[in-house]
Every structure is written in C-alpha cells, then in structure tokens.
Amino acid sequence: MQLLWIELNNIRSYTKERIDFPEGSLLLSGDIGSGKSTILLAIEFSIFGVMRSHLSGNALLRHGCNQGSVELAFKIENKEIIIKRTLKRTATGIKQTAGHLILNNTKLDATPLELKAKTLQLLGYPDELVSKNKSLIFRYTVYTPQEEMLQILLESEDERLDTLRRVFGLDKYKRIRNNTALYLKELRQKRAILESKLEDEQEIKTKLKNAQQQEEELKQSNIQTKETLQNIQQQLTKLKQSLKELEKQEQDIQKARLEKETLIGTQKTLEKETILLNEETLQLNEFLAKHKITEQLTSPEQELTAIKEKIKNLNEKQRSIQEKTAFFTSKKETADNIKNKLLNIDNCPTCQQTISQQHKDHICTKQDETLQKIQNNMEKLTQANTQITTLLKNLEERESTAQTNLKTYLQKKTLQQEVKNKEKRKPEIEKRKTEIQEQTKTLQEKLSQIEKQLTQSETLITTIQQTKQEEQTHSQKEKTLLIKTTEQKERIDSLEKEIKETQEKHKKIQKHKKQFQTLTELEEWLQKLFINLLYIIEKQVLLKIHSEFDQLFQNWFSILMEDSLLSVRLDDSFSPHIIQNTHETSFLHLSGGERTSIALAYRLALNKVINDFVSTIQTKDLLILDEPTDGFSSEQLDKMRELLDELNAHQIILVSHETKIESFVDNLLHVVKDGHESKVLPT
C-alpha cells in the first residue's frame, strides 16, 4: 500500500488542506500542537471510520463546523483507490454519514460500515475486524499513536498476551477453549437428561416382551377362531345351497298344485263341452230330419233387375215429356202475350210508326198458327204420358211380385245353407269328441303324476323346516365367531399399536443410549484431548512468534543502543527482560531515551512479525512513526539514520519536532499553526 494524498475539510485544526505523500521517507515537522498527529488520525479515520473511544467524531470535527470530511487516495498493486468519509453535526451529536469509494474510476456510494468492509477487503485484513472498534493490526504494523507506544509494555502479562493473541488472531484458541467449556457444560446437562431417560429401559423391555407374548397368543387364538369360522361358513354355504334346492322343489310343488287345479278345471271344461256336443248332435239330427232339400231353387233377381231397368227408362221418358210439355206451355203463353199486346198498341215501340190493322191481322194469324201447332204437340205428349203411366203401374205390380218371390227365395236358400252347414258340422262334432277323449286321457295321466309328486310335499316341508333351523343355528354361530374375530383383531391392533409405540420408545431409548455414549466419548475427547491440543497448538504458534519476535527485538535494540551496557530479550510472556551490567533491571527504572528505544524496538519487531505472520495484508510497505525519538539523546538521534536504512520500507512517514531528523529523510513537510488553523508548507 502506498499513500498518494489526503484532503482534510474542517478536521480539527484544519479547514481545508491537501497533503501529497511521495515515495520513500517523509518527515512531518513542526512544533508540538501544530497539527502533525491530526494528519495521521485523519488517515486512520479515512480507512476505518469512527471507532468509539479510540477515534470519535467529536475528536475529529472542527469546533463550530457542522460538516467535515476526509478524502484519502492510495495505491495497492497499481490500483488507485480514493475513499471519502464525512462527519455531520446533528441534534444528538456528531454522526458519520454516507461516503464513497472510487476504484478503477468506478464510484461506489456506501454507508460507513460498507466502506469499512470494502476497505478491509482491499487491505487484506481479516473480515472479523469489520465489527471491531479498533484495528490492532493497523495500530501495531502501520501507525501507533505516541501515547500508545509504551502502553503494551506497561500492561500486565495477561493483558499483553491477550493483546498479542488478538493481534495475531490467536485469541480464537482462547475463545474456542471458552466455547468448549460452555459446550462441555451443555454436554453434561444433555448427558444428565439422557441418563434420566435411560432409567425406564428395563421397564419398557418387559412391557414390550409381555405385549409381544400377548399378541402371539391372540394371533394363534385368532387363527383357530378363523378356521372354525371358515368351517361354519362352509357348512352354512352348503345349507344355503340345500335350502335353495329344497325351496326350488317347494316351488315346483306349488307349481304342481296350480297345474293340478288347472288340469282339473280343463277336465271339467272338456266334460261340459262333451255334454254340449251331445246335445248339439241331437238338435242337428232333429233339424236335418225336419228339413230336407227336395227342390232346385231359381233366383228371381234377374227378372227383378230387368223390371227395375224398364221402370227407370219409362221414368226418364216421362220426365222428358214433362219437360217438353213445360216448354210448349211456355211458348203458348209467349204467343198469347204477343197477340194481346199487338191488339192493344197503335204505334211500334221501336220505330214509333203507326201499326196498321192489316199488319196486326197478319201477325195475329201467324201467332194463331203457332198456337195450333203447340196445341197439337201438347195433345200428343199427353197421350204418350198416359201410356207411360199405364206401363209404369203394370211394371210396379210386377216389381212387387218379384220382390216377394226374391224374399221367399232367400229364405229357402238360407235354410238350405243351414242344412248344409249342420250336415258339415256333424263330422266336426265327432272329431272334437275324439279329441276330447284323447285330451281327457292325457289329463288323467298328468294328474296321476302330479298326485305322486304331491304325496312327497309333507316330507319336503319337514326337511325345509329342519334345514332352516340348522341354517339359523349356523348363522348365529357365524355371527358369534365374527364378533369374536373382530374383537380379537381389535385387541391385536391395539397390541400392535402398543408394541409399535413401545418399540418407538425402545428405539428412542437405544438412540438416547447411543447419544449418551457418543456424548460421553465426545466429552472425554474434548476434556482430555481437544483442549490440551488447543493449548499445544497455541503454545507452538506463540513459540514460533516468540522466537522471531525476540530476535528482531534484540536486533532493533542493538541498532538504537549500540554502545550501551543494556541488553534485552523477551521472556515467555513477551515482556522485555532488561539486563544492565549483568543485573536485571525494571523498565520503569530506565531513562526516557532508553525506554523510548525499547518501545521503538518492540514496536518495529512487532511490525515485522505481524507482517510475516498475516501474509494477506497489503500494508507491509507502509510505516508511520509518531514521535519515535521522544527523550533521545543526540547520539541516539544519529542512530535513526541507520534505523531508517535498515527498515527499507517503500514509504515511511515520521512525525517529529526534532530538526536533526530532517537530514535523514527523503522528503520534508512543515506543519505550522496560525491562530487556530493548521497549514502544511512544502520545503
């Protein structure tokens, strides 16, 4: 990681200031209180944001200002990154507001926490630092404020070890041990619960055995009951079949009785018919003896038809005469009218000319001739009509006689036909008598057979009653056995359910037993092996860290205190063990410069060990030292040149008010304060 520039707006004593960070070593020089450390705090704020008691918004925002910001540009693996964080004064205090991050010219607006997470990811710091209020890795590898330089050395052994565990991520072993202890406590509680559940194991086994025995006995009894039921049902089926056949026979007997009654009725009918046929034969003989056919009859129908035809013709002629008579009568009246009119008029009604007497006489003569002809014709017609009337009267008399003859003829013909029919009926009667005799014989045979069949009916009725009684008995047995099998089945089902539930309980107990054994083994493994293994792993890691740390600590101290009678090393608790003139001495008994040298050597050694141990971090080439020479003598200050050369870091930022150091660095910036406002002046 290489810092490029930082811009402060209303941050502590700065109103608006941009500081560029070149490669190599850079000294921020200035008087005490000029604002040098503010730049370092601003760098830390831009990366991690506000960190409660360690880096609060109240400590950063300039007094009297409502808003401030820090914008930091840095480079990681040739990627330029810009982070901007803002502070805002509100009614409830100073709060962080949303900022942004620019990576590869892509701007990402984000909340303070999102910015922190993204920045830690870019720096390669562990993810769990997102929720921490202090980044120990940054504080002990990149930047440690002046007031914290000696803090780790002045802590108790346990506090120092806890701090180092957190720095190197070894506090997880302690957390694992603590969590394991809690888990062991929970395991013991679970074991106690499982142990109490195992107390009923023997009782459940006995209950299961008894239930299974009862179930087996019931199943055997149920099999026997089913076999008995099956036999009863088979017998019942046979009885029902027999009863069905017997009832069919009974139905046949009922049919035979009905048939007997029908045959007797038929027999009586035939007897009556025979009597009637005999009576009919006597009547036929008497009728035939009384009526014999002696003459050949001739039908008068032809004569009657001829008479009717003649009457018809005469009637037509008479109608014709009447029509002609009416015609001549009409003509006569017309001629009389003309004659009378002519005699009574003098002028012609058409031309109005006077009619002469001669003309009148001529016309009258002509009309008289016409009237005479009409009279002659009418007389002829009257004579013809009289002749026709006489003929019609004669024909009507003949027609009456012919009709009387026809009636007599029809009566005789009917009688002759009746005689013929009765003569024809006689052989039919004889034939029917023969048929009746044969039918009667057949009926007698059938009745004889039916009588034989009916004689067995009483025995059949007795057999049917006995079979029905036996069927009822077997049905009752079947019903009883069905109820018994149902009860047995219900009891078996109940026992199966009980067995299943008991087996489930037994399975649960076996499962609990297995869990109990597993928990016991797990508890033993955690207690005897796992926790000890954690101690061993942590100890081995600490030994490795201690070895490198101790070597580096001695090397850096020897550079700073080359000609000193002091020698240092780290004890097992990572505390500096100080030897002066072969005697052990306390850190607090040393001079200010000696204490600063030990603190700086400890700080630089810790920086190198952390960078080596946490391989993912991207801040290995950056080192910020805040007043690292406090209390140094002039000779010790000269050692800083050698120390800076030995560090060989890509970028080192020093904060110091010692002017002698200005000649040791590649770049120099002067920080001055005018009134209440700080400024950075390039050299």
Task: Inform me whether the pLDDT recorded for 293 exceeds 90.
Answer: no
The 10s digit of each residue's pLDDT in 161-174 is 888 888 887 888 88
Distance CA(551)–CA(562), nearest Å, equals: 15
The share of the chain scoring above pLDDT 70, in percent, equals 97
Q: Write down the pLDDT at residue 671.
A: 93
The 10s digit of each residue's pLDDT in 598-642 is 888 888 888 888 888 888 888 888 999 988 888 888 888 888 888
Q: Write down the pLDDT at residue 131.
A: 62
Task: Inform me whether the pLDDT recorded for 53 exceeds 70.
Answer: no
Task: Inform me whether the pLDDT recorded for 134 exceeds 80.
Answer: no
Q: Write down the pLDDT at residue 194.
A: 79
Residue extent(s) of CATH 1.10.287.510 domains in the chain: 301-427
Average pLDDT of the chain, as a whole number: 85
Overall average pLDDT of the 479-508 stretch: 87
Residue extent(s) of CATH 3.40.50.300 domains in the chain: 1-142+619-683
The topology (CATH level 3) of 301-427 is Helix Hairpins (1.10.287)
Q: Write down the pLDDT at residue 89.
A: 93
Overall average pLDDT of the 347-360 stretch: 72
392, 311 contact by CB (below 8 A): yes
Overall average pLDDT of the 29-58 stretch: 87
Task: Inform me whether the pLDDT recorded for 48 exceeds 70.
Answer: yes
40, 665 contact by CB (below 8 A): no
- Residue 85 pLDDT grade (very low, low, confident, very high; cuts 50, 70, 90): very high
The pTM of this model reads: 0.54
- Residue 74 pLDDT grade (very low, low, confident, very high; cuts 50, 70, 90): very high
DSSP 528: I
The 10s digit of each residue's pLDDT in 100-131 is 999 988 999 999 999 988 988 898 887 776 56
Overall average pLDDT of the 474-481 stretch: 88
Task: Inform me whether the pLDDT recorded for 412 exceeds 90.
Answer: no
Q: Write down the pLDDT at residue 675.
A: 86
Decide if domain 1-142+619-683 falls under CATH 3.30.720.110.
no
Order of strands, edge to edge, in the sheet holding 2-11?
Answer: 14-20, 2-11, 67-76, 79-90, 93-103, 106-110
Q: Write down the pLDDT at residue 133.
A: 60
DSSP track, 619-673: -TTEEEEESTTTT--HHHHHHHHHHHHHH--SEEEEEE--GGGGGGSSEEEEEEE
Q: Write down the pLDDT at residue 68.
A: 95
Q: Write down the pLDDT at residue 309.
A: 87
Task: Inform me whether the pLDDT recorded for 647 exceeds 70.
Answer: yes
DSSP track, 27-87: EEE--TTSSHHHHHHHHHHHHH--BTTTB-HHHHBPTT-SEEEEEEEEEETTEEEEEEEEE
More confident residue, 384 or 678: 678
The 10s digit of each residue's pLDDT in 400-411 is 888 888 888 788
Q: Write down the pLDDT at residue 295.
A: 67
